[in-house]
Amino acid sequence: MKKTNRGWLPAYCQPDAFLPKVPETRVLFSRRPFLFQDFLGKAMAFLQSGTARKMGFVYRPESALPCKWRCADESLFGVDLCLYAYTGQYPFDKGAIGGMYNEASLGAAAHHGGINMDFGGSHVGYVPGEGGGRFGAIWRPLHQEYSTDCGYLMGVIEPFRKVYDDACRNILVYDPVGERLVVSIPNEFLHPDWSSHHIKLLVDLEAMTAETVDYQDDLPHTHTLVGRSLFYLHPGFIACLSPAQAQAFHTPRPTPMGRALTHQFFNIFDATASLDEAGQPKQKLLPYMKHIVSAAHSPEGLKAAIINTSLNHNALTDAVRSQAFLPYDFVSFTGIFIDLYDDDLQSYVNLFQPLGLTIKPKGCQREVEMTTEEIHHVLGKLPLAPPMLPLEDVLGFSEPEIPLEKFTYQPGYFTRP
Ligand SMILES: [Zn+2]
């Protein structure tokens, strides 16, 4: 009889539970990100353009309050300086550590300016290098070493990534007698009680396996190993393998499953996570964790930043639709901040990949929305608006020394460390 272990999953991890979608990394990064100061120059030109007026937005500089929602990390301070240079106003802080939008800030910001110009999102460090570079770390000059960036998000991911990597190394696939692929799974990845770790990774028996390998006295490959269970692989799993992976597994030598452990074939959860009354985790990244740690085209730090940004953008644009904000204009430029350290300038530099732009004109409850592709298309053609204060005076430099061509990441073209 077909076995299942889905009954041990929390409700939010059930494979048939719907998870709202977030933009694909492949699509977002089909174009190189902007240097943030350039993006801002174009964003200000856009707000004063006929295109924005057609969307119902009328720019009134005397009422426009620049706002930021971003992590507290000092590597992002250049974002504040750019907002100051371009608008001549100190930005209002709508952010919190980890790239969260702080809902309590919204009422105050609306009282300070009739137009809120929001610039925000999660951030991720980038170290240029071979194979598309490395995400999730940055040079920290005060420690003279690399450290995580965003430290908060990388800290949330880290224990899940370790358990996932352990599973990739220790779930073994082989073809004992040249007939059928067998998978040998440590029991801690089959039943949560067999693992003392609070992060539980459970292979999805229904998706990955066909049936158990039954013990037969005269067939040594059917003899049970202590701490492991043996199954024949499901044809659906085999169909997902690349030719190189399939070839690597057709050997009598047990071979680690590695990155063939994709999101359709496992679930992962924190048994100690705090849940709300509806059974949803308070840390809203958790339902996405298996996609973050196993993403084929996205380094996990970047994937987590995209998901976190999407969740917070949704919370912000949802909140501004309330009746209380009807008399105000909100313009939200949301994206991923990519932090680099510029050795020559001895300064952090921020790139920005827009993820969405929404405009809620005053008197309206619904916004006009633009995708990454549309933003690149519309803003790409615009000149930079002149800053109110020279960038060189505010930032200490007018443009980075580090060439932006150093950002070589393209989806599918990167090497995992
Ligand atoms: Zn951070």
Question: For the chain, which residues make up each domain, given as ranges?
Answer: 6-12+165-294, 25-155+298-406
The 10s digit of each residue's pLDDT in 173-193 is 999 988 899 999 999 999 999
Rounded distance from Cα 74 to ligand 1 centre (Å): 9
Per-residue confidence band for 220, with pLDDT thresholds at 50, 70 and 90: confident
Based on its alpha-carbon atoms, the radius of gyration of the chain, rounded to whole angstroms, reads: 25
pTM of the model: 0.93
Q: Determine the pLDDT at residue 415.
A: 63
- In the chain, the percentage of residues whose pLDDT exceeds 70 is 99
Average pLDDT over residues 365-388: 91
Distance 97 CA to ligand 1 centre (A): 6
The C-alpha atoms of residue 286 and residue 264 are separated, in whole angstroms, by 16
pLDDT for residue 242 is more than 70: yes
Given a cut of 70, whether residue 389 has pLDDT beyond it is yes
Cis peptide before 150 (omega within 30 of 0): yes
Residues, beta carbon < 5 Å, ion ligand 1? 71, 73, 150, 152
Phi, psi of 144 (to 5 degrees): 55, 45
Q: How far is the CA of 135 from the centre of ligand 1 (A)?
A: 13
Stretch 291-314: mean pLDDT: 93
Task: Read off the pLDDT band of 414 (50, 70, 90).
Answer: low
Of the listed ranges 1-5, 235-239, 303-307, the one predicted with least confidence: 1-5
Q: How far apart are CA 373 and CA 380, in angstroms?
A: 10
How would residue 404 be classed by pLDDT, with cut points 50, 70 and 90? confident
Q: Which distant-in-sequence residues (6+ apart) come within 8 Å of 343 by Cβ?
A: 139, 401, 402
Residue 151 Cα to ligand 1 midpoint, Å, equals 5
State the distance from the centre of ligand 1 to the C-alpha of 154, rounded, in angstroms.
9
196 CA distance to ligand 1 middle (Å): 30
- Provide the 3-class DSSP secondary structure of residue 149: coil
Beta strands in 155-194 (DSSP E): 172-174, 182-186
Residue of 336, 339, 348 lying closest to 400 (CA atoms): 348
pLDDT tens for 108-123 read: 888 888 899 999 999 9
Other beta carbons within 10 Å of 105: 17
- d(CA 210, CA 232) in angstroms, rounded, equals 5
pLDDT computed for residue 70 by the predictor:
94
CA 355 / ligand 1 centre spacing (Å): 18
The CA-atom distances, in angstroms, between 9 and each of 34, 168, 285 are 41, 20, 17
Task: Give the integer Cα–Cα distance in Å for 29 and 354.
Answer: 10
- Does pLDDT of 1 surpass 80? no
Which three-class secondary structure state does DSSP give residue 157?
A: helix
